[in-house]
Amino acid sequence: MKTALKPFNTRQRHFKDGDVVRPADDLRPFTFADLLARGFVGDNKPEPKPSKGKAAG
């Protein structure tokens, strides 16, 4: 099981960030391998980097 890293549309559904994507899902016109290779599907979103803004206080 992978998650959507970027939003994308298929003929049946709109996948948003964080949605679960399975190889068994109807992903036409794409394939699961194609979405994985193009970075639309992956394990998890990377952790956001800490900002270099002012410290609270």
Q: Which of 8, 30, 28, 29 is nearest to 19 (CA)?
A: 8
DSSP state of 4: E
Q: Which of 15, 17, 16 is nearest to 28 (CA)?
A: 15
List helix spans (H) across 7-52.
32-37
pTM: predicted TM-score of the whole model, two decimal places: 0.70
Report how far residue 37's alpha carbon sits from residue 42's, in angstroms, rounded to the nearest whole number.
Answer: 9
Over residues 16-48, the pLDDT tens digits come to: 999 999 999 999 999 999 999 999 999 975 566
Q: Please, which pLDDT band fits residue 52 given cuts at 50, 70 and 90?
A: confident
DSSP state of 36: H
Does 9 score more than 80 pLDDT?
Answer: yes
